[in-house]
């Protein structure tokens, strides 16, 4: 899309075409919900904002790929762990608060005639507290241990890393149970939201909420896939392949 075309579009049209633009408008204090029927040029001149700045940010979105086809299986555990942290944990941290805000607003405004929006807000709240604790455990305990086991296996760490949890299977089992729980909460939201399809009367916040929830679910499932199916089995195997004498310090 060119800048001239962008200029003539209304804020509401742009959010409808690409929900990621909602975050840009929110950041600049532009109402994309009830007051979204104005063009970017008009809203910027009313609010004394430089339109070119917003246009540049919107155009930049078009060059951001949503998916990748990395060969995760070939990566070292240290590299894969860092990827999961930098891509998926960062994504979750950046979006939990934003989606909560949208979910609470939609439940408040539409909850009486669309009661499922209240249930969605409640389920989302459970996801937020579960995932926040879950990621902390991975970031502070499990992932540093996995990285150190790999460092030890390559000789860059002299001592087998010590832990309070015995073998790695025990925290991994806990992480997998927590993945199941969060995954099932997310699927309940998917069912309640009719596969993230908004009703005809939905306002822009409602539309952005469902689009963000769908995006979040896609990211979450990829995140869980990388941990459950690639990182965890490889970490278990690596730990098992070290001689008992080597890992006796861990117990």
| Footprint of Fe ion (CB under 5 A) | 138, 227
Phi, psi of 127 (to 5 degrees): -60, -45
What burial class does residue 149 get, using C-beta atoms within 10 Å of its C-beta: 0-12 exposed, 13-18 middle, 19+ buried? Answer: buried
- The DSSP element (H or E) to which 232 belongs, if any, is helix 232-241
| In the complex, minimum distance from the CB of residue 139 to Fe ion, in angstroms, rounded to a whole number | 8
Nearer to Fe ion, 23 or 138 (CB): 138
59 and 1 Cβ atoms separated by less than 8 Å:
yes
Q: How far apart are CA 131 and CA 228, in angstroms?
A: 15
| In the complex, minimum distance from the CB of residue 134 to Fe ion, in angstroms, rounded to a whole number | 6
Query: Which tokens belong to 32?
Result: 């994309």
Q: Give the chain's count of helices (H) and strands (E).
A: 13, 0
| In the complex, minimum distance from the CB of residue 178 to Fe ion, in angstroms, rounded to a whole number | 7
Nearer to Fe ion, 1 or 85 (CB): 85
| In the complex, minimum distance from the CB of residue 14 to Fe ion, in angstroms, rounded to a whole number | 32
Nearer to Fe ion, 24 or 220 (CB): 220
Nearer to Fe ion, 138 or 150 (CB): 138
């Amino acid at each position: 899309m060119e800048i001239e075309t962008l200029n003539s579009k209304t804020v509401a049209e742009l959010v409808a075409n690409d929900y990621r633009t909602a975050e840009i408008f929110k950041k600049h204090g532009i109402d994309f919900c009830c007051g979204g029927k104005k063009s970017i040029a008009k809203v910027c001149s009313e609010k004394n904002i430089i339109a070119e700045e917003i246009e540049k940010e919107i155009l930049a979105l078009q060059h951001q790929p949503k998916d990748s086809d990395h060969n995760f299986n070939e990566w070292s555990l240290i590299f894969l762990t860092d990827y999961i942290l930098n891509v998926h944990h960062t994504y979750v941290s950046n979006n939990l608060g934003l989606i909560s805000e949208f979910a609470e607003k939609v439940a408040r405004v539409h909850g009486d005639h669309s009661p499922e929006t209240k249930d969605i807000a409640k389920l989302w709240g459970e996801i937020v507290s579960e995932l926040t604790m879950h990621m902390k455990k991975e970031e502070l305990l499990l992932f540093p241990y996995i990285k150190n086991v790999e460092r030890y296996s390559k000789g860059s760490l002299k001592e087998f890393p010590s832990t309070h949890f015995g073998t790695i299977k025990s925290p991994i089992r806990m992480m997998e149970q927590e993945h199941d729980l969060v995954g099932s909460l997310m699927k309940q939201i998917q069912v309640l939201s009719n596969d993230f399809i908004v009703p005809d009367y939905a306002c822009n916040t409602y539309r952005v909420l469902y689009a963000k929830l769908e995006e979040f679910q896609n990211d979450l499932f990829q995140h869980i896939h990388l941990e459950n199916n690639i990182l965890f089995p490889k970490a278990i195997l690596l730990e098992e392949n070290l001689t008992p004498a080597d890992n006796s310090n861990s117990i």
